[in-house]
Structure 1
Amino acid sequence: MLDLFRPLLPYFSQGGARVRLSATGVHFDRAAADLEGFARPLWGIVPLAAGGHDFPHWDLYRRGLTNGTDPSHPEYWGDISDRDQRQVELAAVGFALAMVPEHIWDPLGEAEKKTVAAYLLSARDKEFIDNNWKFFRVLIDLGLTRVGIGFDRSMTKKYLDETEAFRLGEGWYRDGPVKRVDHYIPFALHFYALIYSVLAKADTPRGDAYRERARIFAQDIRHWFGPDGAALAFGRSQTYRFAAGGFWGALAFAGVEALPWAEIKGYYMRHIRWWSKLPIADRDGVLSIGYGYPNLLMSESYNSAGSPYWALKFFLPLALPADHPFWLAEEAPAPSFADPVPLKEPGMVAMHTPGNVVVLASGQQHDRMRGAHEKYSKFAYSTRYAFNIEANDRHFAAASFDGMLGLSDDGVHFRMRETLEQALIAGDRLYSRWKPWSDVTVETWLVPANPWHIRIHRIVTPRALQTTEGGFAIEQADFQADIASRGEGFAVWHGRTDTSAIVDISPAFRRDGHAMSPIANTNLIHAKTLLPQLRGQVEPGTTLLAAAVIALPNAEMDPTFLQSVPVCPDVAELERLFRAEGDVVPAFNLAGAK
């Protein structure tokens, strides 16, 4: 934790209130971005200090806090308005006041305390975004309570009550009134709720409910973590990196033995070790915007240079004593799962393959973010083979379409699965209906066939369409050391460490195999990747396409794998299954929120 913090010291302003790490911009103002750089490290600093470890820069944080909240100081963070980024960052300040007031509050003078309190109070009476942001008022309020500042507590209860509307069941939430779930469920909604369950000692019923939901949720979210510790790269805000593992630490912080402590500790420690091997910091040790390497292409409009420091949420268990069962436990490996695991609430099916977890996805969507369709709407995601973001929506031939079916009616522009008309789950099968154009309908079925998975698409179109469908992206080696094989109906990349293949199993149609190298810096983990594709044109009318897809580490791939390609399931049988057993994916069904 200290190794991650020290590189920030040269970037603190003279008054201590601003931390400016680069010239990149965000949709909010510079003062709020500088506050982000100041506040987010507190998510790791506070547990460190609470656990009795020395943090030698509290004087810097006290100085920054008093200057940043003082309207007369040049480093003032600015007045707070509705739905303001400052509300996000002040949650970390509230957390600090609640956990370690002896370091950040008690040494302040009375005038300074009044200034800080007034600023926090001005934040909490504004409107917060209707999603995980509602917990930010709650965290501010926990801090004000701890240091004896009075306020309208009914507003705290109101937001806590309103977050109940996000519940889907089995410990899952939506992140607001939206048709999607993502890593904000474990590293935000559950994370903050578990902190509340510990710090809000008087609210025992709600705290007990939060702990029980987290216990149930752990049974599912473990399928978003690979055997090597990697988290599923899925959804927005990937630059928060090892914040994803913060859920396991929050279980420990709240004393929730949702799995045996040895297993929880295994998930936790494998995760940080996986990240420790990747080039995620700049030359001076500052965390970069990106995922597996510095990469602005995959970032969001709200990712300032200080955004990645939400990763320090991972360090919450540092607040625990050394003799806590979490720290005393010997790490246990993740259990193996031979059969596909349906995750009904998010509309997913997890397949545990050697060295990887593949998650088939249906029912997730987001249409208001750069790269949103790649982040939410692909057919398959993986802990080992991260997804690509398309870099040019006017170059159909250069698009990756990993885990996707791309369609074009002019050979230049393209469409893919974006928003859905319907999303269903029946056991370990998934179905969606989507319209890339108003007059074109695609029905997609996803079927696990471990270590393969099968995609079936029924396309109804009034005009001819060019199609490209991609498998998993694997790392590209230098010196053209990778080997491609392709032909009618198949494409394979034999990489240095992994093999990726896609095979056409359409009943009456064969697409051509294509082995491509996507545009550099479009993959989350590897700057250069390889990708097998199937390409072909469908004529006006109804066409049924089907593909079998696989990717495995070379050591786990049977050299004769192309001789055991699964056959295309009978579509009529799939239709009967979904008529009899298909349920609307809860994440997709807004009316089903409870």
Structure 2
Amino acid sequence: MPYLRPAEDRELSPYTGWTRAHWERLADRMLDAVRPHATPGQALIHLPGPVSSSGRHSDGLEGYARTFLLAAFRIAGARGAGGTEALAERYAAGLAAGTDPASPERWPRMSECGQAKVEAASIALGLHETRPWIWDRLDDRVRQRVVDWFSEMVGTEVPDNNWVWFRAIVEAFLRSVGGPWKPADLAHTVARTESWYAGGGWYSDGADTPPPFRNYDHYSGWAMHLYPLWYCRISGDSADAAEAGLADRYRARLRDYLTDLQYLVGADGAPLYQGRSLTYRYAAAAPFWAGELFGADALAPGLTRRIGSGMVRHFTDRADPDDSGLLSLGWYRPHPPIRQNYSGPASPYWASKSFAGLLLPADHPAWTEAEQPLPVDLGDFVRTLHAPGWVASGTRADGIVRIANHGADHADRGQVSGAAYDPFYCRWAYSTATGPELGGPGPVPGPDGAVHASTPDLDLPGGGPLDSHVALVDAQGRPTHRRPLERLALDGPAAASRHRARRPQDGSPQQPREPEPWLTTASVLHGAWEVRAVRVDGDPAGAALRIGGWAVAGDRPPVLRTAEGRASVRNQDGLQGLVVALHGPLRAGVRASVGRTSFAEHAAVAYLETPDPARAGGLYVAAIALGREPGEPPELVADGPQGEWRIHWPDGQLDRLPLGANVSPTEFPQE
């Protein structure tokens, strides 16, 4: 049956047209779509797709738990009425069967399967929000079985990251219903969260390393902000004296975080494509709704809805959910390389978190006030995000937001030369309109249109990353990687970092060549352009230097162009990626691929590479653009007796290149 959307309201919602009715209709469609995949007792939901590392039994629990979160928001938002009565009965039946040890549909216990700890938090949260319509109506024996199943969480070991909050959420619910809980568990969660707070509203998702932390991604919003405030909500009057003031603390941090986060949303609603678990996609809207739900007062209510509706509509407009109403393991379409090993067919349903806004009453200002514009709707901007080490640039003409990344690589203490490269964290740049090329060899059409031999896997030895990357490339074409990086500077539109040029890509042990050269890099952002400078400190041992541009994707092969010191790729929608050599001997090239990005089937990258081995102490500078009408590149000129370099932008703005000092302007004579 085709999905029929409610009528748009462009007066109330001038940017998206969406109203609360659109959210309710979409939630109903998604919940109806998973129903045929449930077991007879409704306790397990086995969706089609590849099995996770935890196994099919765990995946079935995940199917129940993550869709129950969506059902809970829908039921509670309708106050148990509006046709949600049957939904409550369905999930109550699943609780009864899943917690029955004698049932063939019993859930895996937490002592049997670690992933059950994650799913337990969604069930506990959903039960709290639906107390009058599910928990209070359960048979006493079923309630006791639920408590028994949850109780294995008390005192259990959990990974030292956002998982500490899964235990806290479950124990908060247990405490609220007279079940067992352990004060030491809750105190540990609060203490670990404090140790990961990086300031400005940002949390690192766990870190076994001293500040500055490097573990930044969407988990800062959809986990590290969401669960602490929900923990306070569940605890309510049962909270003890040691928890006094927690809600105020977490609310103030969420306020600061959202003030930054609004700058990482594209005008088309796209969230930033960076970090792991991206298959949760519009769960990225959850912290914005949390701002309204928990009174953070960070953004205008109309802006919250503009972001939330824009983000979900961004995906639904691209046929996600699919024709059957299911979410795939991908971004817009199924894309296996996006998966982590813990991802199963129901994993994408953490997207349910984006529906938290349904808990707000229909007359809440977030639903009744007119949509307000995003920062990128209002004009071009460059914003420094200090905690993650990012500089963000948004352009109103195309609505794209880009970041230069000089702070986040998800590397912890002790990761050395063999640490595996991670394309979701280690690129120099990410955006709302592109994603990195991921692994998987495929036929590659060249600039002449002919299909050439397959290239090596992009993220394994023999190939490695190209797009939004900087690497030394040996005679066999093998690039170095970046992890771990070291921050150097973050100042206005500029950021800088350095790293040892490392091999291999797969994390296998090796004897590093000593000394490995350092690559010191800097980015200066302005509009659609990034000036990226690279200095080679040490002997590159015959390797060439390569600077990669953006991976521009399309349903058809992009148009590829090269000229002396310049290359571009352009998709059928007019999105362009350009690279221009500004300093140092750099020749231009392009490389196309198939099936390697989450955005579309075809992609291509423009890049620059030294024709000969890179020079020790050499400075290389490129201008890199992503946009539909990026304009002309800037000029780079030497300025001052210390060899300082300045960037002259076409609009007259001047910026300093932070790596120019003490590098002679005649290092590479310009012919």
Q: TM-score, normalised by structure 2?
A: 0.79
The DSSP-based 3-state class of the residue aligned with 1:502 is strand
The Cα offsets for residues 389-447 of structure 1, whole Å up to 9 and x where unpaired, read as 24304889976611112332232432232212444323332111111234222111111
Change in Cα spacing, 1:133 to 1:92, as seen in structure 2 (3 Å) is same
Change in Cα spacing, 1:404 to 1:390, as seen in structure 2 (3 Å) is farther
- Aligned mate of 2:258, from 218, 221, 243: 218
C-alpha contact 1:474 1:531 (8 A) present in aligned 2: yes
- Aligned mate of 1:149, from 157, 179, 182: 179
- 1:549 aligns to 2:589 (yes or no): no
- Aligned mate of 1:485, from 545, 561, 568: 561
C-alpha contact 2:423 2:459 (8 A) present in aligned 1: no
C-alpha contact 1:488 1:510 (8 A) present in aligned 2: no
Give, in whole Å, the separation in 2 of the partners of 1:574 and 1:445. Answer: 12
C-alpha contact 1:236 1:372 (8 A) present in aligned 2: no
Give, in whole Å, the separation in 1 of the partners of 2:421 and 2:320. Answer: 22
Partner residue in 2 for 1:79:
109
Give, in whole Å, the separation in 1 of the partners of 2:42 and 2:291. Answer: 33
C-alpha contact 2:154 2:182 (8 A) present in aligned 1: no
- 1:187 aligns to 2:222 (yes or no): yes
Partner residue in 1 for 2:548:
470
- 1:516 aligns to 2:627 (yes or no): no
Change in Cα spacing, 1:82 to 1:337, as seen in structure 2 (3 Å) is farther
Give, in whole Å, the separation in 1 of the partners of 2:248 and 2:481. Answer: 43
Partner residue in 2 for 1:586:
none
The DSSP-based 3-state class of the residue aligned with 1:453 is strand
- 1:24 aligns to 2:50 (yes or no): yes
- 1:348 aligns to 2:390 (yes or no): yes
Deviation at 1:29, TM superposition (A): 3.0
Give, in whole Å, the separation in 2 of the partners of 1:209 and 1:49. Answer: 30
Structure 1 segment 281-320 matched on structure 2, within 5 A: 281-320=321-360
- Give identity over the alignment, percent: 27
Give, in whole Å, the separation in 1 of the partners of 2:287 and 2:459. Answer: 40
Task: State which drifts further: 224-233 or 94-103.
Answer: 94-103
Partner residue in 2 for 1:363:
407
Change in Cα spacing, 1:435 to 1:359, as seen in structure 2 (3 Å) is same
Give, in whole Å, the separation in 2 of the partners of 1:347 and 1:126. Answer: 34
Give, in whole Å, the separation in 1 of the partners of 2:228 and 2:491. Answer: 31
Partner residue in 2 for 1:424:
489
Give, in whole Å, the separation in 2 of the partners of 1:572 and 1:419. Answer: 29
Aligned length: 568
C-alpha contact 2:429 2:468 (8 A) present in aligned 1: yes
- Aligned mate of 1:126, from 153, 156, 169: 156
C-alpha contact 1:245 1:314 (8 A) present in aligned 2: yes
Partner AA of 1:160 in structure 2: V
Give, in whole Å, the separation in 2 of the partners of 1:510 and 1:244. Answer: 42
- 1:441 aligns to 2:518 (yes or no): yes
Structure 1 segment 528-547 matched on structure 2, within 5 A: 528-536=602-610, 537-539=612-614, 541-547=616-622
Give, in whole Å, the separation in 2 of the partners of 1:341 and 1:433. Answer: 21
Change in Cα spacing, 1:228 to 1:14, as seen in structure 2 (3 Å) is same
Consecutive unaligned residues in structure 1, runs of 5 or more: 580-594
C-alpha contact 2:75 2:87 (8 A) present in aligned 1: no
Structure 1 segment 256-271 matched on structure 2, within 5 A: 256-271=296-311
Deviation at 1:488, TM superposition (A): 1.9
Task: State which drifts further: 19-28 or 365-374.
Answer: 365-374
- Aligned mate of 1:198, from 212, 233, 242: 233
Deviation at 1:475, TM superposition (A): 2.8
The Cα offsets for residues 185-230 of structure 1, whole Å up to 9 and x where unpaired, read as 0111111123234333345511111111111111111111112211
Give, in whole Å, the separation in 1 of the partners of 2:99 and 2:645. Answer: 60
The DSSP-based 3-state class of the residue aligned with 2:52 is coil
Give, in whole Å, the separation in 2 of the partners of 1:306 and 1:477. Answer: 27
The DSSP-based 3-state class of the residue aligned with 1:168 is strand
Q: TM-score, normalised by structure 1?
A: 0.89
The DSSP-based 3-state class of the residue aligned with 1:542 is coil
Structure having the larger proportion of residues in helix: 1
Give, in whole Å, the separation in 1 of the partners of 2:498 and 2:299. Answer: 37
Greater relative contact order (Cα < 8 A, sep 6+) = 1
C-alpha contact 2:439 2:460 (8 A) present in aligned 1: no
The DSSP-based 3-state class of the residue aligned with 2:133 is helix
Change in Cα spacing, 1:546 to 1:150, as seen in structure 2 (3 Å) is same
Partner residue in 1 for 2:601:
527
Deviation at 1:3, TM superposition (A): 0.9
Partner residue in 2 for 1:500:
577
Change in Cα spacing, 1:154 to 1:441, as seen in structure 2 (3 Å) is closer
Deviation at 1:578, TM superposition (A): 6.7
Deviation at 1:370, TM superposition (A): 11
- Aligned mate of 2:190, from 145, 160, 165: 160
The Cα offsets for residues 287-346 of structure 1, whole Å up to 9 and x where unpaired, read as 110112110112101111010000010000111111111111110111335442111111
Change in Cα spacing, 1:219 to 1:572, as seen in structure 2 (3 Å) is farther
Give, in whole Å, the separation in 1 of the partners of 2:545 and 2:244. Answer: 56
Give, in whole Å, the separation in 1 of the partners of 2:531 and 2:114. Answer: 44
The DSSP-based 3-state class of the residue aligned with 1:250 is helix
- 1:175 aligns to 2:205 (yes or no): yes
C-alpha contact 1:280 1:290 (8 A) present in aligned 2: no
Give, in whole Å, the separation in 1 of the partners of 2:232 and 2:93. Answer: 30
Partner AA of 2:383 in structure 1: V
- 1:54 aligns to 2:96 (yes or no): no
- Aligned mate of 1:566, from 622, 635, 639: 635
Give, in whole Å, the separation in 1 of the partners of 2:645 and 2:191. Answer: 41
Give, in whole Å, the separation in 1 of the partners of 2:614 and 2:305. Answer: 54
